Amino acid sequence: MNGIELKQSIKRFIAKSLKLPSDKKDKNFSVILNYHSVHPYHRAATSPNDFTKQMEYLSSNFKVISLMDFYDIRMSGKELPESIAVVTFDDGYEDNYTYAFPILKKFGIRATIFVTTGFIEGIVDIAKRDKTYSGLKPLTWTQIVEMNEWGVCFGAHTHTHPILTNIPLKDAEDEIVKSKEVLERKLGRTIETFAFPLGQPKTFNNAIISFLKEHSFKLACSTIWGHDNSATDLFSLHRIRIDAWDIFEDFIDKVNGKWDFIRWIQALKH
């Protein structure tokens, strides 16, 4: 058992031992899932078989909607429908098209992919820089346009994927604007959603959020753990990470709130 598998086993044990109550029993709630890669062979990717089972479970047990549909419901002031799920991907790996897209189409799921535009354009290889996803290739613009025309949404994820609070604010602003402008030019539509690189506490701040609002973004996703976004600030939405080490039972427990103790661990780290 390697280190990652050991950590997963410990988290699984905690989830079972704590027996955290799920808000699903008490009120309507929403869960935003955070994927990166769906690939049959890559060690860090969710396998296509697992992804199919997961999307089937979501479709059977949740109302799966787009991120912008979620935004519209929140802004309407109406109560959220029972058990909403949203599917998102970060970075823009080619396997999102090759393996995930056919499964999304099968279940009619309009996911959102947050794209690092410099990765798509060959300016930076984030898969080489981040060993977790080493070897994965970026989407092409042809693939992105096809997915967008079907109904997959695309959001900005900066141009070169820096941690925004680690660089001067002006550089952070340029990263945001560049990614937005490139996507808008390629897709011919306004880009209104954003995901913070890394997305943990202290990787974004009020100045960056204010800049997003000034540039017509309607929401932003973090990776702060949480299965309920019924009242979460729209510019620091919580997400649940799903990856290769999740067995199906882990997935079910995650989307139903039983791994929410991870938010406490994140708070301690940051």
Q: 28-74+115-242+255-260 sits in which CATH class?
A: alpha beta
Q: CA nearest 91: which of 149, 42, 150?
A: 42
In the chain, what percentage of residues exceed pLDDT 70?
Answer: 95
The structural domains of the chain, with segments of one domain joined by +, span 28-74+115-242+255-260
pLDDT of residue 27: 54
pLDDT of residue 91 exceeding 50: yes
Average pLDDT, integer, range 30-52: 97
- Look up residue 180 and give its two tokens: 């937005």
CB 88 within 8 A of CB 112: yes
Helices (H) and strands (E) in the chain, counts: 12, 8
